[in-house]
Chain A
Amino acid sequence: MKHLIDPTDLSVQEIDDILDLALDIIDNKEKYSEVCKGKKLATLFFEPSTRTRLSFEAAMMELGGNVLGFSSADSSSATKGESVGDTVRVVSSYADIIAMRHPKEGAPMYASMVSGVPIINAGDGGHNHPTQTLTDLLTIKREKGRLGNYTIGLCGDLKFGRTVHSLIKALVRYEGVKFVLISPNELRVPDYIITEIFEKNNIEYKEVTSLEEVMPELDILYMTRVQKERFFNEADYVRLKDTYILDKSKMKLAKPDLSVLHPLPRVNEISTSIDEDPRACYFRQALNGKYVRMALIYTMLKDNGQI
């Protein structure tokens, strides 16, 4: 059985197929409105989320399927001390596919080892978030018309930002992607990403602390939020949270065809004053998330022989 735990669980071909399917769904919504009729998606969210959970649920509904689940650990048997393994074993007997978010890294990986149905990692702590990566890839494909040959700046919390880690792993598989890593020293990408991903694959990258300095060279700017929930020490969070704020003055330094992405939610890191700038893609990106999850759920249920 195929699960989606890490973005590299999918081959480049499989990703291309999912993105093509998502594009077909966008153009032909009626054609897919009943394809998952009678199937159930369980959303097990041990950590709160708005976009990811609702987009999964909306995706399943638009495929004609049903949804069940919980939206925080407080409303599940986790409060009674039930283990993740037991929760997943039980739920996999009720649902045909599970989307799971958990604050601990690797929880969906463990779930995949005990589940009777496919598991989709909907975010595990600061580790991975593969469906956000598919969303980002679909957005890049729709905005740029290609998945390779550009310079992408990743800005903000690159240490705990799971969307960044997943996106890097996916993008290094395409030709001609140059990375500019923009972060305070305390929030640099983990060493393994430098040594085992960039250096091992001879990928062009640089690490900088100034966003202004690199704005003119970027084709894509991927902003991230400094996440309060990832810090053990609140003082560190307060000190680092407003390091980068993308505003009109910085946008003036950018290329006319820059694409600004953000996984959302944003706090202060993108000024609302640039929301109307056509280069701001983040709300279109959120909508892409629903379509790519429709394509993923449909593909996984089909591959598992459920439809």
Chain B
Amino acid sequence: MKIDSIQNGIVLDHITAGKALQVYNDLELNKLDCSVAILQNVKSNKMGKKDILKIDKEYDVNLDVLGYIDPDITVSIIKDGQTVEKKKLALPTKLVNIKKCKNPRCICSTEQEIPHIFKLTDAENRVYRCIYCEADK
């Protein structure tokens, strides 16, 4: 299957197979008015199979969201049909309003104005804790 290359926009490559829709949803790409291509289970020498997302528009992608979902995703910025920048992802040290604290005893559960903030406490096991109640995510 062939999908046209894009002229100006972003390509998210090396997404773990099956996670493209999560990336699409968490980045809220449904709110964009441009073409977005979701490719699932694409053959990959390195990964066996992978997912790819192509966004046909210059767009300020939230790298923390991507890093949290999968820090191995490759982010390529495309201008005039050429890759002009590749961004490295890392596991973010802090998540702000990316995930919700589900502890019913947490102050987040009753106060609407409070930002949901998690801090990375164990990078090896990818453990994030709510800064308010310390429940893990």
Contact = CB atoms under 8 A, between A and B. Distances in A.
Interface of A: 83-85, 102, 104-107, 109-110, 124-127, 192, 196
B42 interface: no
Contacts of B131: 106, 109
Interface in B89-137: 103, 105-114, 121-122, 129-136
Decide if the interface of chain A is mainly helix, strand, loop or mixed. mixed
15 contacts: A83-B112, A85-B111, A104-B105, A104-B106, A104-B107, A104-B111, A105-B135, A106-B134, A109-B131, A109-B132, A110-B107, A126-B105, A127-B105, A192-B129, A196-B122
A109 B118 CA distance: 13
B122 A107 contact: no
Contacts of B121: 196
Given A83-B113, A85-B111, A196-B121, A106 B106 contact: yes
A160 to B, nearest CB: 9
A105 B122 contact: no
A126 B107 CA distance: 12
Nearest to A127: B133
B113 A105 contact: no
Given A105-B105, A107-B132, A109-B132, 8 more contacts: A83-B113, A102-B107, A105-B133, A106-B132, A109-B107, A125-B105, A126-B105, A192-B129
Of A84, A102, A106, A124, chain B has the most CB atoms within 10 Å of the CB of A106
Nearest to A200: B122
Contacts of B110: 104
Nearest to A111: B107
A126 B105 CA distance: 8
A124 B108 CA distance: 13
A127 B107 CA distance: 11
A107 B103 CA distance: 13
A107 B134 contact: no
Nearest to A106: B132
- The 8 A-B pairs with the shortest beta carbon distances in the complex, nearest first, are A106-B132, A105-B133, A104-B107, A107-B107, A106-B107, A106-B133, A109-B132, A105-B105
A117 to B, nearest CB: 19
A238 B106 CA distance: 25
B105 A110 contact: no
Nearest to B108: A106
Contacts of B133: 105-106, 125, 127
Nearest to A193: B134
Contacts of A106: 106-108, 130-134
A12 to B, nearest CB: 21
Given A104-B106, A104-B110, A110 B122 contact: no
